[in-house]
């Protein structure tokens, strides 16, 4: 049995969906354990491109059971839409998906609240209602998936919450929720989702005891973790490997390894400090060649050089056993590449990630330069196929983040991936 947690090492969008899809070939169960439909995980198989938001990226492997664990916040209408769209493209969900009874639900009032709060304190959220739904969970007023199993109870709880939120919205002169219209759609969603809602804690533990291979699919990235990220410019869940246990109900004693996915450079969507960010033509060049536009919101991603300070910190907290380094091909053709291995914070050189986001905001990256390569890497099938300078660059970033390379990705397609021994 092998239970593996896969996490994003940077600010999300590292290519987790692609790597999950590749790794699920021999996996029995794929589990999402945090986040919600703020995630956008892209999987490209042949000429087909899919973007998953709530459904685990293992859904394209017919033998893998997909689980949405208790730590995930679920927008019922968004989940129904995603399942229906995948069904239309030929994916069979029968017996393939389980949704935890304990998942907290996201409603329209959460998304509206998200927009309202973001006006006052600009985080640049996805406006999917993630923060407000986790806030309700912590405030002990959230509505859970199990409540959808009893429509009468569900309706009563939902209408009560709408009354509560409408009072807030009216005090801000904001749009009010039409409870009747919303309820109609929610009741349909609850009926549709009923067969999928089950106690997934039992399923996961049964699978672990039966020595099945379990893969945990992290969403977002470590630097967006609510405890360890660039707070308050973070998401509202624990995106770190530790979150896999609390978000699924599986004891840490069953976790065998942690895979960290990181880009060969850096990107970030939304607000918040990003020391190695490139602006103007330099930023645009990376954005264009990496096709760096959000898979969920379509927003242009901020792009920059590889930041070993934040990635080293991330690998330490996650306990990365193997790195999956993606988007190496995007760096093809650069004469020189820069890597940041220290920050200058108000005149002081630091190589550890500051805990004060204000320090990260003023940090000036201290760069080391490395020669680039001209030969395209996108057709490489093994480490030895890569240009010498690409090998050196990869070895350098792995050494700086104190982790070993396990997988290299040289293009968006499933086949453009190889294992490094």
Which residues sit at the interface with ligand IMO, rule CB under 6 A? 8, 11-13, 38-41, 123-126, 128, 130-131, 219-221, 224, 235-236, 269-270, 295
Partner whose binding site includes residue 15, from ligand GDP, ligand IMO, Mg ion, none (CB under 5 to 8 Å by kind): ligand GDP
Q: Is 36 among the residues that bind ligand GDP (CB under 6 A)? A: no
- Give the span between the Cα atoms of 343 and 341, in whole angstroms: 7
Torsion sign across C-alpha atoms 384, 390, 393, 394: negative
Rule CB under 5 A: choose which of 4, 13, 22, 213 binds Mg ion. Answer: 13
Q: Is 15 among the residues that bind ligand GDP (CB under 6 A)? A: yes
CB nearest ligand IMO: which residue? Answer: 270
Count Cβ atoms within 10 A of the Cβ of residue 260 and give its class: 0-12 exposed, 13-18 middle, 19 or more buried: buried
Check: CB of residue 79 under 8 Å from CB of residue 193. yes
Check: CB of residue 255 under 8 Å from CB of residue 316. no
The CB-of-298 to ligand IMO minimum distance in angstroms stands at 12
- Give the span between the Cα atoms of 200 and 196, in whole angstroms: 10
Task: Name residues contacting ligand GDP, limited to 44-73 (CB under 6 A).
Answer: 44
User: Which string of DSSP letters, residue by residue, matches 268-281?
Assistant: E-SSS--TTB--HH
Q: Is 406 among the residues that bind ligand GDP (CB under 6 A)? A: no
The CB-of-9 to ligand IMO minimum distance in angstroms stands at 11
Region near ligand GDP per CB under 6 A, out of 187-195, 245-253, 321-329, 390-398: 321-329
Six token digits for residue 138: 């912590």
The CB-of-408 to ligand GDP minimum distance in angstroms stands at 8
Partner whose binding site includes residue 259, from ligand IMO, ligand GDP, Mg ion, none (CB under 5 to 8 Å by kind): none
Q: Is 102 among the residues that bind ligand GDP (CB under 6 A)? A: no
13 is catalytic: yes
Partner whose binding site includes residue 337, from Mg ion, ligand GDP, ligand IMO, none (CB under 5 to 8 Å by kind): none
User: Which string of DSSP letters, residue by residue, matches 196-224?
Assistant: GEE-HHHHHHHHHHTT--EEEE--S-GGG
Rule CB under 6 A: choose which of 16, 53, 96, 104 binds ligand GDP. Answer: 16
Buried b (16+ CB within 10 A) or exposed e, 374-383: eeebeebeeb
Compare residues 74 and 255 and give the one whose CB is closer to Mg ion: 74
The CB-of-40 to Mg ion minimum distance in angstroms stands at 4
Region near ligand GDP per CB under 6 A, out of 39-47, 76-84, 247-255, 399-407: 39-47
Dihedral pair phi/psi, residue 108, rounded to 5°: -55, -35
Six token digits for residue 253: 């004693």
Check: CB of residue 223 under 8 Å from CB of residue 230. yes
Q: Is 247 among the residues that bind Mg ion (CB under 5 A)? A: no
- Give the span between the Cα atoms of 121 and 26, in whole angstroms: 44
The CB-of-8 to ligand IMO minimum distance in angstroms stands at 5
- Total interface residues for ligand GDP by CB under 6 A: 21
Which of 11, 1, 6 is CA-nearest to residue 304? 11
Task: Name residues contacting ligand GDP, limited to 279-318 (CB under 6 A).
Answer: 295
Region near ligand GDP per CB under 6 A, out of 62-70, 152-160, 326-334, 343-351: 326-334
Check: CB of residue 377 under 8 Å from CB of residue 329. yes
Cis peptide before 232 (omega within 30 of 0): yes
41 is catalytic: yes
**Contact letters (x/-) for Mg ion, 15-54, by CB under 5 A?**
-------------------------x--------------
Compare residues 258 and 330 and give the one whose CB is closer to ligand GDP: 330
Q: Is 409 among the residues that bind ligand GDP (CB under 6 A)? A: yes
Which of 334, 340, 420, 342 is CA-nearest to residue 380? 420
The CB-of-369 to ligand IMO minimum distance in angstroms stands at 28
Check: CB of residue 314 under 8 Å from CB of residue 227. no
The CB-of-17 to Mg ion minimum distance in angstroms stands at 7
Q: Is 260 among the residues that bind ligand GDP (CB under 6 A)? A: no
The CB-of-406 to ligand GDP minimum distance in angstroms stands at 14
Count Cβ atoms within 10 A of the Cβ of residue 119 and give its class: 0-12 exposed, 13-18 middle, 19 or more buried: exposed
Which of 14, 90, 27, 88 is CA-nearest to residue 56? 27
Q: Which residues are catalytic?
A: 13, 41
Which chain residues interact with Mg ion by CB under 5 A?
A: 13, 40, 295
Which chain residues interact with ligand GDP by CB under 6 A?
A: 8, 12-18, 40-42, 44, 295, 326-327, 329-330, 409-412
């Amino acid at each position: 049995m092998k239970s593996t947690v896969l996490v994003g090492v940077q600010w999300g969008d590292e290519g987790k969906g692609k790597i999950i899809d590749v790794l699920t070939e021999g996996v029995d169960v794929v589990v999402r354990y945090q986040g919600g439909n703020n995630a956008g995980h892209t999987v490209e198989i042949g000429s087909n491109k899919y973007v998953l938001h709530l459904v685990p990226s293992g859904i394209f492997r017919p033998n893998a059971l997909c689980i949405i664990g208790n730590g995930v916040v679920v927008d019922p209408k968004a989940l129904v839409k995603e399942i229906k769209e995948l069904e239309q493209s030929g994916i069979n969900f029968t017996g393939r998906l389980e949704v935890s009874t304990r998942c907290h639900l996201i409603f329209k009032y959460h998304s509206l609240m998200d927009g309202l709060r973001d006006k006052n304190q600009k985080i640049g959220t996805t406006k999917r209602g993630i923060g407000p739904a986790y806030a309700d969970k912590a405030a002990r007023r959230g509505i859970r998936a199990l409540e959808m199993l009893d429509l009468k109870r569900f309706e009563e709880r939902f209408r009560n919450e709408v009354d509560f939120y409408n009072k807030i919205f009216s005090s801000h002169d904001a749009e009010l929720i039409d409870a009747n219209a919303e309820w109609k759609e929610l009741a349909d969603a609850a009926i549709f989702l009923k067969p999928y809602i089950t106690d997934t804690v039992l399923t996961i533990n049964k699978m672990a005891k039966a020595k099945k291979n379990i893969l945990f699919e992290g969403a977002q990235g470590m630097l967006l973790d609510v405890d360890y990220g660039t707070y308050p410019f973070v998401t509202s869940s624990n995106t770190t490997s530790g979150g896999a246990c609390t978000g699924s109900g599986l004891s840490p004693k069953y976790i065998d390894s942690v895979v960290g996915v990181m880009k060969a450079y850096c990107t970030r969507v939304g607000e918040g400090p990003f020391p190695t960010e490139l602006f103007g033509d330099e930023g645009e060049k990376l954005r264009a060649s990496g096709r760096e536009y959000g898979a969920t919101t379509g927003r242009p991603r901020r792009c920059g050089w590889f930041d070993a300070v934040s990635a080293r910190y991330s690998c330490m907290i996650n306990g990365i056993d193997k790195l999956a380094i993606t988007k190496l091909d995007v760096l093809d053709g650069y004469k020189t590449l820069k890597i940041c291995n220290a920050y200058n914070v108000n005149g002081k050189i630091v190589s550890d990630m500051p805990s004060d986001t204000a320090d990260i905001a003023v940090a000036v990256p201290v760069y080391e330069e490395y020669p680039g390569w001209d030969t395209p890497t996108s057709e490489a099938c093994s480490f030895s196929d890569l240009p010498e300078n690409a090998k050196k660059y990869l070895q350098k970033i792995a050494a700086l983040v104190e982790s070993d390379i396990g997988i290299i990705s040289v293009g968006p397609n499933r086949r453009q991936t190889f294992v490094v021994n």
